[in-house]
């Protein structure tokens, strides 16, 4: 047969206390395991973002190396890293799907990077047209034209024209060095003077000289236009645009990283709060159970003390309802039965004594009658 569980017994109360302790510890451990795993994933995402930021820094380095050295190997390195950067954005986007507005942020990040990449390759294309060294592009073409013109002027010993050409070349070099349009204006002025002087000369090669000069001027102005498109400094033209785009990319990565940092901080606080809540609930439950058990024990013992004290003087039953625990109620029932048994014995004893007294009285009466 199944024994019924008495929820007011000492055994049950102790089992409840043990169960509350074990349950609190189990919930606390499960909470720690779950949230620790979540924090590990968030920190892993943070490392992925850091890696993405490092990749962007490497792209910026290749970009600046190309602008400084005009070497196509840096363009190839940029292209390889750019493909890897785009792949990483696609890979980590699903990981951040639980963050607020993450899809929009990564869509903007991908669009910004594509624009940055396009602008950089457009700049490379223009720089290639300008010339990656002094012998290629517009630089090479007007350099060849001017060398032919210099040789022609030297051969004909036209020193006055040579001086004007040198002034043009000086203005050209100043522009290439400082990227200021005032040198273009000065170069154009010298070009006009030299063109007028060639047309006024009686040289049989004046037509050839003019063709070489026009070729030089055309390619130089093409170079100037290309530099204006690229940007005469780092804040203008394509340079300024992709520089601003790079800063936008960095800001977007910082925004995503900030959101992730907030998520990590929030998760850490949540772990702390939930753990504290679990410990508080467990502690309160134990305190309530212990205080209630203490009060019940105290009342039961007081009732027992009063019971035994009164047993000396009067036969009074113990009220089991006031004892709390079922074990004490059982003891009270036994004690009450003992009192009832004692009362019965005393009543029987009194009846026996009374009967004996009556017998003795009858015997005395009989003795007196015989004597008479």
Examine the pLDDT at 329 and tell me if it is beyond 90: no
Q: Is 293 inside a domain boundary?
A: no
């290629």: which residue's tokens? 136
Q: Are residues 28 and 154 in the same domain?
A: no
pTM value is: 0.62
* Radius of gyration for the chain, computed over Cα atoms and rounded to the nearest angstrom: 53
Which of 35, 37, 44 is CA-nearest to residue 95? 44
Q: Are residues 222 and 241 in the same domain?
A: no
Confidence tier at 265 by pLDDT (50, 70, 90): confident
Residue 325: domain span: 320-371
Confidence tier at 184 by pLDDT (50, 70, 90): very high
Measured between alpha carbons, how far is 258 from 250 in angstroms, rounded to an integer?
12
Q: Are residues 254 and 220 in the same domain?
A: no
For the chain, give the percent of residues with pLDDT over 70: 82
pLDDT, residue 3, reads 46
Q: Are residues 187 and 108 in the same domain?
A: no
Q: Is 144 inside a domain boundary?
A: yes
Q: Are residues 168 and 205 in the same domain?
A: yes
Examine the pLDDT at 299 and tell me if it is beyond 60: yes
Give the torsion sign (CA, 332, 334, 339, 344).
positive
Give the DSSP H or E segment for 90. helix 72-92
Q: Are residues 155 and 125 in the same domain?
A: no
Measured between alpha carbons, how far is 242 from 116 in angstroms, rounded to an integer?
5
**Average pLDDT, rounded, for the chain:** 80
pLDDT tens digits, residue range 335-368? 677 777 777 777 888 888 887 887 777 777 777 6
Work out the average pLDDT over 298-305. Answer: 66
**CATH code for position 251:** 1.20.1440.210
Instruction: Provide the domain count of the chain.
Output: 3
Q: Are residues 70 and 166 in the same domain?
A: no
Q: What angle do CA 267, 109, 49 make, to 5 degrees?
A: 40
Q: Are residues 23 and 43 in the same domain?
A: yes
- Bigger pLDDT: 109 vs 209: 209
Confidence tier at 310 by pLDDT (50, 70, 90): low
Task: Give me the helix-helix angle, 10-69 and 102-130, nearest 10°.
Answer: 10
Q: Token pair of 154, please? A: 């030297």
Give Dmax (Cα) for the chain: 204
Q: Are residues 126 and 141 in the same domain?
A: no
The beta-carbon contacts of 231-239 under 8 Å, at least 24 apart in sequence, are: 232/179, 232/180, 232/181, 233/179, 238/119, 238/122, 238/123, 238/126, 239/67, 239/123
Which residues have CB under 8 Å from 51's CB, separation 6+? 88
């Amino acid at each position: 047969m199944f024994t019924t569980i008495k929820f007011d017994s000492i055994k049950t109360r102790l089992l409840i206390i043990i169960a509350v302790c074990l349950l609190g510890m189990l919930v606390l451990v499960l909470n720690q395991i779950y949230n620790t795993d979540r924090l590990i994933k968030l920190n892993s995402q943070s490392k992925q973002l850091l890696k993405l930021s490092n990749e962007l820094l490497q792209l910026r380095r290749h970009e600046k190396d190309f602008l400084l050295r005009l070497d196509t190997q840096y363009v190839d390195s940029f292209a390889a890293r750019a493909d890897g950067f785009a792949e990483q954005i696609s890979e980590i986007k699903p990981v951040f799907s639980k963050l607020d507005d993450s899809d929009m942020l990564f869509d903007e990040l991908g669009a910004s990077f594509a624009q940055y990449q396009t602008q950089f390759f457009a700049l490379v294309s223009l720089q290639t047209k300008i010339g990656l060294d002094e012998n290629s592009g517009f630089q090479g073409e007007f350099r060849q034209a001017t060398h032919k013109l210099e040789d022609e002027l030297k051969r004909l010993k036209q020193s006055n024209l040579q001086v004007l050409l040198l002034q043009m070349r000086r203005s050209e070099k100043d522009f290439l060095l400082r990227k200021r349009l005032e040198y273009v204006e000065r170069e154009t002025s010298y070009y006009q003077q030299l063109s007028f002087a060639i047309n006024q000369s009686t040289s049989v090669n004046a037509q050839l000289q003019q063709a070489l000069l026009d070729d030089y001027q055309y390619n130089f102005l093409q170079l100037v236009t290309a530099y204006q498109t690229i940007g005469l400094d780092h804040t203008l033209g394509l340079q300024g645009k992709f520089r601003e785009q790079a800063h936008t990319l960095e800001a977007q990565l910082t925004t995503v990283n900030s959101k992730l940092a907030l998520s990590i901080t929030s998760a850490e606080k949540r772990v702390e709060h939930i753990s504290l809540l679990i410990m508080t609930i467990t502690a309160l439950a134990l305190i309530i159970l212990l205080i209630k058990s203490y009060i019940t024990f105290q009342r039961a013992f007081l009732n027992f003390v009063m019971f035994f004290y009164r047993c000396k003087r009067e036969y009074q039953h113990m009220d089991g309802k006031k004892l709390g625990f079922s074990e004490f109620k059982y003891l009270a029932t036994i004690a009450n039965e003992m009192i009832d048994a004692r009362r019965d014995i005393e009543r029987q004893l009194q009846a026996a004594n009374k009967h004996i007294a009556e017998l003795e009285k009858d015997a005395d009466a009989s003795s007196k009658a015989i004597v008479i």
